[in-house]
Amino acid sequence: MADVNRGNRPLSPFMLGKYYRPQLNSVTSILTRITGNAMIVAALMIAWWLIAAATSETAFNRADWFVTSFIGDVIMFFSVLGLWYHSLAGVRHLIWDQGLCLEMETADKLGWVVIGGSVVLTLLTVIIV
Amino acid sequence: MRYITDRKRAVGLGSAKSGTSHHWHMQISSIALIVLVPLFVFTFGSALGGTYEEVTAYYSRPFPAIVAALTIWVGMLHFKSGAQTAIEDYVHGFTGRITIIAVTCVAYAIIAVSVYALIKLAL
């Protein structure tokens, strides 16, 4: 094991850009990752809002002003969209993990369900909340 | 002839070393979040926009507070593992390790801050 190559092994190429033709599956996959990571912004805002509410009225008003401001509303709106999208895409992954719905046509259909479903759920959330 | 199964010989030799535990924990947290996320969206959503008195009163009730604590807790652990996978894909070597450490610290900090706030609001 003395000559084991550690850390300098070839990596698989990063297949985006002109060498790669995007299709529904790859786009929905990358959106799952983007939405999952982007929600950290909303998480930071919610943590700030909660700790401010636990601290004092002045602190709460400051945090609440930002969270309910125009920028805060825009961030929250896209976070809700991202949250529903990520949730539905996660359910799709759980289905795939069972070895189901892996045929191209079914997987594509589920992709549109994830996209359409997240828009519908976001509109419902905006109406109810 | 070696008296050893194919599985036994393969264990630990994959790039992930520890097998499927990371994936398994993502499945557990994702299923928990399917239940928690809708509950959190609609409880947090009805509290958001309220005055200081309304919000502190709302989050001193057990149900919204427990839903918020669980969602943030499980959600941040899920985020920590998910972001780690993404970092391992795009950021390599020393920078990658530092990024994973930073993301892990942020995730735990968000849990600690939120849970502390919720406990204080409840008491």
Q: Would you say B29 and B78 are in contact if contact means Cβ atoms under 8 Å apart?
A: yes
Q: Confirm whether A5 is domain-assigned.
A: no
| Helix locations, A1-129, DSSP H | 24-55, 57-67, 70-97, 104-128
State residue B2's pLDDT score: 72
User: How many domains in chain A?
Assistant: 1
Q: Confirm whether A4 is domain-assigned.
A: no
What rounded mean pLDDT belongs to chain B?
Answer: 93
Helix axes A24-55, A57-67, angle to 10 degrees: 160
Burial, B27: exposed, middle or buried (Cβ in 10 Å; 0-12, 13-18, 19+)?
Answer: middle
Search chain A and give the residue with CA nearest B71.
A43
State residue B11's pLDDT score: 78
Percent of residues in chain B assigned helix, strand, coil, to nearest 5: 80, 0, 20
**Would you identify the CATH topology of the domain B20-122?**
3 helical TM bundles of succinate and fumarate reductases (1.20.1300)
Give the whole-number percent of chain A exceeding pLDDT 90.
80
Search chain A and give the residue with CA nearest B80.
A37
Give A-chain residues touching B75 at CB under 8 angstroms: 43
**Is B42's Cβ below 8 Å from some Cβ in A?**
yes
| Residues B30-86: tens digit of each pLDDT | 999 999 999 999 999 999 999 999 999 999 999 999 999 999 999 999 999 999 999
Give A-chain residues touching B56 at CB under 8 angstroms: 53, 60
Q: Would you say B71 and A43 are in contact if contact means Cβ atoms under 8 Å apart?
A: no
CATH number, domain containing residue A104:
1.20.1300.10
| Full domain range(s) for residue A66 | 24-128
User: Which of A34, A50, A121, A129 to mutate against chain B (most B CBs within 10 Å)?
Assistant: A50
State the pTM of this model: 0.88
Angstrom distance (rounded) from CA B80 to CA B73? 11
| Residues A27-76: tens digit of each pLDDT | 999 999 999 999 999 999 999 999 999 999 999 999 999 999 999 999 99
Q: Confirm whether A15 is domain-assigned.
A: no
Q: Would you say B88 and B96 are in contact if contact means Cβ atoms under 8 Å apart?
A: yes
